Amino acid sequence: MNAKLERDSVAADRAAGEGLPGSGHPRRALRAGLLAAFLLLVAGTAGAAAADLPDSMKTPGAARDITVQELCSTSTRPYRETMEPGEKKEAYHRYGLEGNCDGYCSGPEGCEIDHLIPLELGGANDIRNLWPEPFDGTVWNAHVKDRLETFLHRQVCENGLSLRQAQNEIASNWIEAYRRYLGEPQPPRRPRGKLRCE
For residue 133, what pLDDT is reported? 94
For residue 184, what pLDDT is reported? 95
CA 5 to mean position of chain CA atoms? 53
Which residues of the chain are modeled with pLDDT < 50? 1-47
For residue 11, what pLDDT is reported? 44
The residues that bridge with 133 in the sheet, in sequence order, are 112
Q: Which of 113, 108, 136, 122 is nearest to 165 (CA)?
A: 122
The per-residue DSSP string of 41-81 comes to: HHHHTTT--GGGS--TTT----B----HHHHHHS-SHHHHT
What are the pLDDT digits (tens) for 106-121?
888 999 999 999 999 9
104 near 134, Cβ under 8 Å? yes
For residue 34, what pLDDT is reported? 39
